Every structure is written in C-alpha cells, then in structure tokens.
Amino acid sequence: MAEIWRTSNGISWEPVVQYGFLRTNGYIWRLTVYGNKLIAGTMNPFTGCEIWMSETGDFGTFEQMNIHGMDGAMSLPANLGAFIDRDDGPIVPWADQYGVRTVANYQGNLIVGTASWGDWVDRMLSQQTDGNWHDLSGYVGCEIWSTDGTLWTPPETVEVNKTVWDPVAQSWVHELEAPLGDTVRFRCEIKNIGLEDLTNIVVWDFLSHSLEYADDATIEPTCNVEDVLGFGTLLKWDLSSYTLTPGNSIVIKYDANVIEKEHKEVNFVFARGKCGSYWDYEWDYAVINPTLIPTVTSSNVTGVETDSFDLSEDVYCYAKNLPANRWVDIYVVKNNDTWEEGTVLIDVINGIETVKTQPDRSLQNTLIWESTLMQGSYDIVIDTNQNGKWNEGEPIDSLATTGFDAVPEFTTIAIPVAAILGLLFFFNRRKQRK
Ligand SMILES: [Ca+2]
Ligand SMILES: [Ca+2]
Ligand SMILES: [Ca+2]
C-alpha cells in the first residue's frame, strides 16, 4: 500500500504515512500544499479516491477530508473478469471515482480533478471481446470538485465482523486450522454503528476454491452463488428488504467444506449500505488454514500405540485431526504400501466400524478387531467420507509401511522350536554314545 516519506537533507528519510492510511489506497497520486496544509490525493480503485491532509506533515497526523470516491458512489457495474481482460465473472459495484488525478489551488479553493475508469474498461474489453462494447462509460465519467478546505470527517456507519467456529475452543475466532474434509462454520455480522437507519444493504462473501459452500445460510433471501473465474465462489446477499436501525445487527451463518489443503485461505466479506444519505462499506476476513494432518494409530486395549499383536489380542486404534462430529468408517485391510486415490477398501474381517468423531476432531481408542486375529500385515484406514474408497487426505496407518502385524503367540512358536532343539540334543547324545 502507498507510503509518504520525507527528508530535510536529501540523505536521511522517514516515513510519515504507511500502509495506504490503513485502507486500500494503492497510490499517493497527487501531493500539494493548500493553505498551510499538506494534501495527499490517492488512487483507490476498490472503494474510491481519498484526500488526506496534515497541518504538520508528521507521522500519524493525517486526517481524511473527503468522502471516499468524493460522494461514496459505487454505481459502476463491472465484471470481475475485467481485471484479467475478460467480460465474464460476477458483477460487482466499483468506485465511480477511483483516483485524485490532478489538483489546483484556485481563488482560495482546492480543486480536484478525478479519474474514472468506465471508459478505460470499455476500451480494454472491446479489444479483448471481439469488439463488444459494454458501455460502462455510460454510467460514469471524471469529475471536478472544489472545497474550501473544511475538514470533513466520515461518519461511522457499518461494522463488519467475520469469524469461524473453533470446535476445540468452542468459540468464534478469526483464524482456524481445519483438516481436509472438515466442514467449517462461518459467521458474518453486519452492524449499524451509525446514528441513522442503514438501508440498501448488500453483502458479498468470497470463498476461495479450497472451500465449497454448503448452501445452508441462516438468512432469507438466499444468496446468489456465482463462480469467480475459477478462483472461488462469490456469495451475494441482497438484503435491501432489511432496515437496520442504529445499534442493531444482521448475522449470517453458513457452512463450507474444506476441499483442498494447499493454501492458507483468506475469506473476505464486504457489506455496503446507505446510512441516511451516505453510502458506506466495510469488510473483514477470516483465515482457514487447512494444515492439520489427520492420523490414525494402531493401539492396544489401554490406548498405547502398538504395532505387533499376538493372535489372541484385540486390536484398537485412535485418531486425530479428523473432521469434527462426523460419522466415519474404520477399515482393517491387507497391508498396502502403494496407495492410490480411489483404491477400494476391502475389510479383512468383513466388519467395518462406523463411529462418530469427537468435537475436538479426535477418535478415542476404539476396538476394531476382536481376537482371534489372522496372521498377517495390515493397514488401518479411516474412510472419512464413507464412500468405501481411500481418498487423498484420509488417514492410513500406515501409508508406506505396515500399519500393524498379527503374529503367532510366543507359546505357539516356542513349542516347535523347543521340539527341534530337543531333537538336536537327542541326536547329539546318540552320536556321543557311539
Ligand atoms: Ca501400509
Ligand atoms: Ca473415502
Ligand atoms: Ca501402527
């Protein structure tokens, strides 16, 4: 995000603005002096240009003096695909005035000329989409604004909070580790913290492609679900039938399945509304970290990891990091060290165990094979999605080695060995007698 630095000798520099004023300001597009104030005009294609001023130029002294996008207007209906030269994807409202393009100090007034991008997108898309003219420029164009420099403070209107349910901590959190195959529950709260009614509310929630919407949101009307060019899913709730009085909230909860595990996922929610005559927006995000690796471990009756069992022993197993509160099937299969996606599971004792995982994602010590065992080498598989096949991410004890061995007991091997030793002893004695 954009920064402003200053120096008094051209050698040593210090920052006076960092992180784009903590908003989505990508450029400081214009700097000027007006009165005794330092004025910074930004480019902010997401929510509209901003103008900040400081009377000293010191770090932390800048204050916003305009409404984002000059009047908060976000009426440009742009396809998300426009960002990658395509004319598809969900339509999102974009800031009409995205940048402070030029400034002048004229007759005591600060004059600002803005930039708008409808025409640019039209021309870009026209080239890329067989001359199709989308007429975004028909909605908006650049503007000139003038101010006497009175500081304008944006009112507080919307507050957005996005969290995800942590089944272990039993609380709503902003970041969660979740295993592949898990179902996570999101909560989006949109609160009116302003002094007037909040209307025209629209909520956009972006799920990246590692997450799959479970179509169970706790609000009416249902959301519009759109694919975002293979990057994920955009859930859009048009809540214009709601009027949110000051201090009140709308809460949307919904489930999503974790279907990929490669990336840390940042899931955004944006809410826009009109408070009195002022259009405002706010956003928040929750992070899903699909890094917990599920495991299953062969164990004995006391829950101690065991890899070798007498034929007269019972075999147990325990597991960790499974999807919470989920019915799963446990298979004991012949040892396999070259597992492939979709391998059919054949239980050696024809009696799979179907059990429910704990809220903390564990599976307590569970009896999976009652004696007498058959001699051999085995794997234990937890079929998390109960489809009778092994799927990527389902735990195995163990993938590339033997899960556990069932071996004859000491007494049954001991007798033949003692007999052989006895015979050798017998023959030796006979030899000596000769
Ligand atoms: Ca194996
Ligand atoms: Ca499976
Ligand atoms: Ca084992």
User: pLDDT tens-digit profile of 134-185?
Assistant: 777 777 888 999 988 776 666 788 999 999 999 888 899 999 988 877 889 9
pLDDT at 422: 58
Same domain, residue pair 115 and 70: yes
Q: Is the pLDDT of residue 429 over 70?
A: no
Give the residue-averaged pLDDT of 344-350.
91
List the structure tokens of 300: 């004995």
Same domain, residue pair 274 and 183: yes
427 pLDDT band (50/70/90 cuts)?
low
Distance of CA 167 from the midpoint of ligand 3 (Å):
27
Q: Is the pLDDT of residue 432 over 60?
A: no
Q: Is the pLDDT of residue 420 over 90?
A: no
Distance of CA 409 from the midpoint of ligand 1 (Å):
23
Distance of CA 326 from the midpoint of ligand 2 (Å):
13
Among candidate residues 363, 367, 334, the one with its CA nearest the CA of residue 348: 334
Same domain, residue pair 318 and 370: yes
Residue that wins the pLDDT comparison between 290 and 112: 112
CATH of the domain at 224: 2.60.40.740
Amino acid letter for position 171:
S
Residues with CB under 5 A from ligand 2 (ion): 383, 385, 387, 389, 391
Same domain, residue pair 302 and 398: yes
Residue that wins the pLDDT comparison between 134 and 357: 357
Q: Is the pLDDT of residue 31 over 80?
A: yes
- The mean-pLDDT minimum among 197-201, 264-268, 339-343 falls in 264-268
Give the residue-averaged pLDDT of 26-51.
92
Same domain, residue pair 126 and 16: yes
Same domain, residue pair 61 and 134: yes
- Residue 420, domain member (yes or no): no
- Listed in sequence order, the residues at least 6 apart from 108 whose beta carbon sits closer than 8 Å to its beta carbon are 148
pLDDT at 410: 63
- The mean-pLDDT minimum among 2-6, 42-46, 157-161, 215-219 falls in 42-46
Distance of CA 396 from the midpoint of ligand 1 (Å):
7
Distance of CA 379 from the midpoint of ligand 1 (Å):
5
Write down the number of H helices and E strands in the chain. 2, 31
The neighbouring-strand residues paired with 330 are: 353, 382
Rounded-to-integer distance, Cα 41 and Cα 26, Å: 11
Distance of CA 414 from the midpoint of ligand 1 (Å):
29
Ligand nearest to the CA of 389: 2
Give the residue-averaged pLDDT of 364-378.
95
433 pLDDT band (50/70/90 cuts)?
very low
Give the residue-averaged pLDDT of 68-80.
79
Same domain, residue pair 305 and 384: yes
Residue that wins the pLDDT comparison between 78 and 20: 20
Rounded-to-integer distance, Cα 406 and Cα 339, Å: 21
198 pLDDT band (50/70/90 cuts)?
very high
Kindly list the distances between the CA atom of residue 267 and the CA atoms of 171, 186, 293, in Å, as whole numbers in the listed order: 18, 10, 21
Ligand nearest to the CA of 334: 1
Give the residue-averaged pLDDT of 29-48.
92
Q: Is the pLDDT of residue 213 over 70?
A: yes
278-289 and 265-275 beta bridge pairing? antiparallel
The neighbouring-strand residues paired with 237 are: 203
Confirm if 328 and 380 have CB atoms less than 8 A apart. Answer: no
- Residue 421, domain member (yes or no): no
Q: Is the pLDDT of residue 402 over 80?
A: yes
- In DSSP notation, 79-114 reads EGGGGGT-S-S-EEEE-S--EEEEEEEETTEEEEEE
- Residue 207, domain member (yes or no): yes
pLDDT at 28: 96
Same domain, residue pair 33 and 130: yes
Residue that wins the pLDDT comparison between 423 and 283: 283
- Residue 244, domain member (yes or no): yes
pLDDT at 152: 64
Ligand nearest to the CA of 319: 3
Distance of CA 405 from the midpoint of ligand 3 (Å):
9
Distance of CA 380 from the midpoint of ligand 3 (Å):
8
Distance of CA 381 from the midpoint of ligand 1 (Å):
10
pLDDT at 412: 55
Same domain, residue pair 8 and 143: yes
Ligand nearest to the CA of 400: 1
Which run of H or of E encompasses 321?
A: none
Give the residue-averaged pLDDT of 394-419.
80
Same domain, residue pair 38 and 129: yes
Is 414 strand, coil or helix?
Answer: helix
* pLDDT above 70 as % of the chain: 92
- Residue 318, domain member (yes or no): yes
434 pLDDT band (50/70/90 cuts)?
very low
Tally of domains in the chain = 3
- Residue 430, domain member (yes or no): no
Q: What is the average pLDDT score of the chain?
A: 87
Ligand nearest to the CA of 390: 2
- Residue 168, domain member (yes or no): yes
Ligand nearest to the CA of 328: 2
Ligand nearest to the CA of 330: 2
Same domain, residue pair 170 and 284: yes
- What's the pTM? 0.63
Is 179 strand, coil or helix?
Answer: coil
**Full residue range of the structural domain in which residue 223 is found:** 158-289
Q: Is the pLDDT of residue 262 over 70?
A: no
Classify the C-alpha dihedral 11-12-17-19 as positive or negative: positive
